[in-house]
Amino acid sequence: MSLILVMLKLNYSSKPIESFLKKLFLYLQLSCDLNLEAESADGSTVPLPVHKYVLIARNHVFRAMLCGPLADNSDTIIIPDISAEALHELLRYDTLY
């Protein structure tokens, strides 16, 4: 899907660029290149598609995980000791604010 079609689908003409980027990066999950996995409340594993370079730019912990000397280069990273709901809120905060 082209960027123009995405912009039209999101009604971009009436919204500021921040709103457009929030939807593009968090909700549409276009061209996500990494999955973070965490457990949900019912015990199942939930994949959360993310943009690796957005995480690297916005969060020093993810920057160390993905770019440091012990960087994990797989397409899926399991995040232990955090619920999927809490991880989703962390990603929402780090990506949007």
Fold of 31-97: Potassium Channel Kv1.1; Chain A (3.30.710)
Rounded Cα distance, 63 and 89, in Å: 18
Predicted TM-score of the model (pTM): 0.67
Which has more confidence, 11 or 40?
A: 40
pLDDT per residue as tens digits for the range 25-38: 666 666 788 999 99
DSSP 49-83: EE-HHHHHHH-HHHHHHHHSTT---SSEEEEEEEE
Report, as an integer, the average pLDDT of 35-51: 89
Domain chopping of the chain, boundaries: 1-30, 31-97
Which has more confidence, 67 or 13?
A: 67
For CA atoms 85, 90, 95, 97, give the dihedral sign.
positive
| pLDDT at residue 17, rounded to an integer | 65
Average pLDDT of every residue of the chain: 78
